[in-house]
Chains A and B, each alone.
Chain A
């Protein structure tokens, strides 16, 4: 998956690679900087110039944050040389403050709503509007080239303004965003003449009726990446075909489900240089009649010699699967998470995927399918197993058997997301020992409060083993029956954990206390339906300024308790969110708390009370 995909391996991964454009820009800037401020002016000026040239090469934002703390001079120079601005919470700092400090930004990476908003736990129109940022950037950043937004609200007008305000704009990536439609896309693509990347990932796109694909400007296009698999409306295929034909640099193309396999074929033969392909429907729109000639899809795939990432398969007909055999040996990423296939259908494919590093799949493949994965994919780094039936209390196609097999076969595993109906401590402990490189461990036992089905014990020991043995762990999501003991383990051993997700777990305030006191690197804590109350929160307050946010819904917090916290911590914004039909009572339904330099925001809707 692209590192900008909906769920990054580790969201704040500081090992991000710098885009090529940054390096080009850097060397140009270096030459420019030498020209200003001659050596005879001031010895300090020389040092600053040198520093400026050096800092251009520093891309990691964590390193940059450290650099800016050295002294005022370094702070200034770092601010001048930061070209990619990352804001993890759009309300932590105002657009004006950001543009005032960082004056030469070319790329903005902005995140809005907290993750639990994805699961309908937050009423709509909560906020996270892109508009104020857009307006604030137009003048200070005329050379803005790239915008990456996650969980933000973007309107059609915003898209039009974006393209109009920045003539050199090149890359737009919208992940889990909403508020815009095909009209906005049409205005954006028609005005954005230098566009290289347009990636719409798991965003909700409104159908305004506009044929936006036809709005790309005529003539040769600079497009390198076009991802629109989340757009749930038909597109003009002929226009798309023409667009692909005039985009020689196109490397990434992810189609939506309105592109049939026959149409896919036509696109693939135009673009054999593709490296990332989302196949769309992967079945014909109508059953081929007897007289029709079946296209040789296999040759189309074989022609794509550079293909390393495959996804799509929205309405897969397994008969067509053999078409992808020619590319399996080169694949590093395969997303079957919409493909309802069983183990038998998976085996002939997965047995060829020796180089696979990222694999997303549905639990329809069962434990047997996972065993096949374990047998072949020795290079696997990331596995996600999604449920075909996202319900509790049904039979489990995957279980501890699959997890055990993966842990034994894929020992280089770094990231796992596993939905299941049953899991044992033994299998989780096995994974903790077999896969020491784990950075992300997210296990979702779908039945709430489910104990180990073999021993009847809570799942404390399993998760305890994970935090104890996986020394690089930075992200953890827990589930199943868990007592405070599990949190004691997490607090004691999870010293690198930055993101923790808790649901239906714990016995008492002690659970939360352990975590807040123990996990010194904790940045993002999201908790739902767990018996943690005011006392627990108070005990860990000192830590909250280091956290990006804390989310607690359906816990034991009282309004008074939250009020006290708001008083004690002036730099925290304490939002109490209630749903529309709930009375204001003593218990706080949802608490969303985050550090901010700006104080309470002015765009909060009625159902949000900022204490």
Chain B
């Protein structure tokens, strides 16, 4: 079960934009002027202006999180290099900056390190500020609850907490063996038929999934709400969950 390298690409946790207000540094004075390529000399053909710092910042605000997190995707195995030609003729019109503002390989931090830090977000103080509160509903219960998924470290923790909140249901065995069980169709059927209730969740794509099929961190990143369904109703979910898991792995 892959946990490590690909993890950081989801959730776009690397995309904060801040500090735009710092662009009061007198950029008119510091703007460099470049000649066109092949022009040779130092500053003679003052046609192309380097994009100022403020323009760079503006670009980032316009990017959707998907686009910029996809930039550095899949570490060393990326076949296509999206280079930003910020020094070549296409930057002649400074008012229309190129669509991609993030640059490959900059800042020069190795992918391994970036990935490790991205997957750690769960334990940092920073992300406890962006707590992952999700609504929890249970079929038949009169009101909903809200839980912060970042308060828990594993499915077992979550299961215990929800059990306390809502009384009797179970996620079942949540060790690695338990996850294998979910992948095994007949065992899944047994589990669903036996339990009174089964926890399901809506993921980022809007699909309803069975809780427990992906690694914990991945679940926390992708879960938008929880619904504790009656076991009999959840059977219809199982084949879809299997399919989605197969597509992922």
Q: A314-B116, A392-B56, A453-B25 are in contact. Are A178 and B76 (CB under 8 A)?
A: yes
CB neighbors of B among A295-353 (8 A): 314-317, 337-338, 340, 342
Q: Mark B45-57, 1 if CB is under 8 A from A, else 0.
A: 0000010010011
Q: Which among A178, A202, A456, A510 is the interface contact of B25 at CB below 8 angstroms?
A: A456
Q: Which among B50, B56, B108 is the interface contact of A119 at CB below 8 angstroms?
A: B108
CB neighbors of A among B193-249 (8 A): none
Q: Which of B41, B85, B153 has the most CB of A within 10 A?
A: B153
| B109 contacts A393, C-beta separation under 8 Å | no
- Pick out which of these stretches binds chain A: B15-23, B132-140, B164-172, B181-189: B15-23
| B38 contacts A533, C-beta separation under 8 Å | yes
- Pick out which of these stretches binds chain B: A40-48, A89-97, A443-451, A514-522: A443-451
| B19 contacts A503, C-beta separation under 8 Å | no
Question: Does B42 make an interface contact (CB < 8 A)?
Answer: yes
- Pick out which of these stretches binds chain B: A155-163, A383-391, A540-548, A593-601: A383-391
| B26 contacts A554, C-beta separation under 8 Å | no
| B14 contacts A529, C-beta separation under 8 Å | no
| A587 contacts B56, C-beta separation under 8 Å | no
Question: Does B190 make an interface contact (CB < 8 A)?
Answer: no
Q: Which among A121, A530, A556 is the interface contact of B81 at CB below 8 angstroms?
A: A121
Q: Mark A120-152, 1 if CB is under 8 A from B, else 0.
A: 110110000000000000000000000000000
| A579 contacts B109, C-beta separation under 8 Å | no
Question: Does B163 make an interface contact (CB < 8 A)?
Answer: no
Q: Which of B19, B40, B107 has the most CB of A within 10 A?
A: B107
- A115 to nearest B CB, angstroms? 9
Q: Mark A552-594, 1 if CB is under 8 A from B, else 0.
A: 0010101000000000000000000001111000010100000
**Within the assembled complex, what's the spacing in Å between the Cα atoms of A286 and B110?**
30
| A287 contacts B105, C-beta separation under 8 Å | no
- B231 to nearest A CB, angstroms? 26
| A120 contacts B83, C-beta separation under 8 Å | no
| A510 contacts B42, C-beta separation under 8 Å | yes
| A580 contacts B120, C-beta separation under 8 Å | no
Q: A286-B153, A393-B60, A587-B37 are in contact. Are A338 and B30 (CB under 8 A)?
A: no
| A120 contacts B111, C-beta separation under 8 Å | yes
Q: Mark A402-430, 1 if CB is under 8 A from B, else 0.
A: 00000000000000000101100000000
Q: A204-B112, A337-B113, A535-B40 are in contact. Are A392 and B76 (CB under 8 A)?
A: no
| B157 contacts A287, C-beta separation under 8 Å | yes
Q: Which residues of A contact B153 (CB under 8 A)?
A: 286-287
Q: Which residues of B contact A529 (CB under 8 A)?
A: 86-87, 103
Q: A232-B3, A337-B113, A393-B20 are in contact. Are A116 and B105 (CB under 8 A)?
A: yes
- A562 to nearest B CB, angstroms? 14
Question: Does A207 make an interface contact (CB < 8 A)?
Answer: yes
| A450 contacts B53, C-beta separation under 8 Å | yes
| A394 contacts B107, C-beta separation under 8 Å | no
Q: Which of A316, A386, A509 has the most CB of B within 10 A?
A: A386
Q: A120-B78, A387-B107, A456-B29 are in contact. Are A533 and B37 (CB under 8 A)?
A: yes
| B85 contacts A554, C-beta separation under 8 Å | yes
Q: Which residues of B contact A124 (CB under 8 A)?
A: 76-79
* Smallest CB gap from A6: residue in B: B110
- B5 to nearest A CB, angstroms? 6
| A393 contacts B106, C-beta separation under 8 Å | no
**Within the assembled complex, what's the spacing in Å between the Cα atoms of A342 and B32?**
38
Q: Which of B29, B32, B80 has the most CB of A within 10 A?
A: B32
Question: Does A507 make an interface contact (CB < 8 A)?
Answer: yes
Interface size range on B against A: 35 or more
Question: Does B159 make an interface contact (CB < 8 A)?
Answer: no
| A581 contacts B120, C-beta separation under 8 Å | no
* Smallest CB gap from B42: residue in A: A508
- B22 to nearest A CB, angstroms? 7
| B40 contacts A120, C-beta separation under 8 Å | no
Question: Does B125 make an interface contact (CB < 8 A)?
Answer: yes
| B18 contacts A395, C-beta separation under 8 Å | yes
| A389 contacts B16, C-beta separation under 8 Å | yes
Q: Which among A119, A389, A453 is the interface contact of B104 at CB below 8 angstroms?
A: A119
Question: Does A292 make an interface contact (CB < 8 A)?
Answer: no
* Smallest CB gap from A483: residue in B: B32
**Within the assembled complex, what's the spacing in Å between the Cα atoms of A530 and B113?**
26
Tally of A interface residues using CB under 8 Å: 78
| B112 contacts A202, C-beta separation under 8 Å | yes
Question: Does B129 make an interface contact (CB < 8 A)?
Answer: no
| B157 contacts A286, C-beta separation under 8 Å | yes
Question: Does B124 make an interface contact (CB < 8 A)?
Answer: yes
Question: Does A458 make an interface contact (CB < 8 A)?
Answer: yes
Q: Which residues of B contact A118 (CB under 8 A)?
A: 108, 110-111
* Smallest CB gap from B111: residue in A: A120
Q: Mark B146-167, 1 if CB is under 8 A from A, else 0.
A: 0000000110110000000000
- A518 to nearest B CB, angstroms? 18
Question: Does A481 make an interface contact (CB < 8 A)?
Answer: yes
| B40 contacts A444, C-beta separation under 8 Å | no
Q: Mark A201-236, 1 if CB is under 8 A from B, else 0.
A: 010100100000000000000000000001011000
**Within the assembled complex, what's the spacing in Å between the Cα atoms of A96 and B75?**
34
Q: A232-B4, A395-B19 are in contact. Are A388 and B117 (CB under 8 A)?
A: yes
**Within the assembled complex, what's the spacing in Å between the Cα atoms of A257 and B112?**
13
- B24 to nearest A CB, angstroms? 10
| A315 contacts B120, C-beta separation under 8 Å | yes
- A436 to nearest B CB, angstroms? 27
Question: Does A531 make an interface contact (CB < 8 A)?
Answer: yes
Q: Which residues of B contact A437 (CB under 8 A)?
A: none
Q: Which among B19, B29, B56 is the interface contact of A421 at CB below 8 angstroms?
A: B19
Q: Which among B72, B110, B123 is the interface contact of A317 at CB below 8 angstroms?
A: B123
Question: Does B192 make an interface contact (CB < 8 A)?
Answer: no
* Smallest CB gap from B107: residue in A: A446
| A451 contacts B112, C-beta separation under 8 Å | no
Question: Does B43 make an interface contact (CB < 8 A)?
Answer: yes
Q: Which residues of A contact B77 (CB under 8 A)?
A: 124
- A128 to nearest B CB, angstroms? 13
**Within the assembled complex, what's the spacing in Å between the Cα atoms of A286 and B154?**
7
Q: Which residues of A contact B22 (CB under 8 A)?
A: 422, 453
Q: A207-B2, A338-B117, A587-B88 are in contact. Are A581 and B80 (CB under 8 A)?
A: yes
* Smallest CB gap from B82: residue in A: A579
- A230 to nearest B CB, angstroms? 7
| B108 contacts A503, C-beta separation under 8 Å | yes
| A580 contacts B79, C-beta separation under 8 Å | yes
Question: Does B34 make an interface contact (CB < 8 A)?
Answer: yes
Question: Does A484 make an interface contact (CB < 8 A)?
Answer: yes
20 residue pairs from A and B, CB less than 8 Å apart: A120-B81, A123-B78, A124-B76, A207-B2, A232-B5, A286-B157, A287-B153, A362-B117, A388-B117, A446-B107, A448-B56, A448-B106, A451-B25, A503-B106, A507-B42, A528-B105, A529-B103, A579-B81, A580-B80, A587-B88
For the complex of A and B, 8 pairs with smallest distance between CB atoms: A119-B105, A232-B4, A579-B81, A508-B42, A390-B109, A446-B107, A340-B124, A456-B26
Besides A120-B104, A285-B154, A422-B22, 10 new A-B residue pairs in contact (Cβ under 8 A), listed by A number: A120-B81, A121-B81, A124-B76, A338-B120, A387-B109, A391-B107, A421-B19, A510-B42, A580-B79, A587-B37
- Measured CB to CB, the residues of B under 8 A from A are 2-5, 14-20, 22, 25-26, 29-30, 32, 34-35, 37-38, 40-43, 50, 53, 56-57, 60, 72, 75-81, 83, 85-88, 102-114, 116-117, 120, 123-125, 153-154, 156-157
- Measured CB to CB, the residues of A under 8 A from B are 116, 118-121, 123-124, 178, 202, 204, 207, 230, 232-233, 257, 283, 285-287, 314-317, 337-338, 340, 342, 362, 364, 386-396, 419, 421-422, 444, 446-451, 453, 456-458, 481, 483-484, 503-504, 507-510, 528-531, 533, 535, 554, 556, 558, 579-582, 587, 589
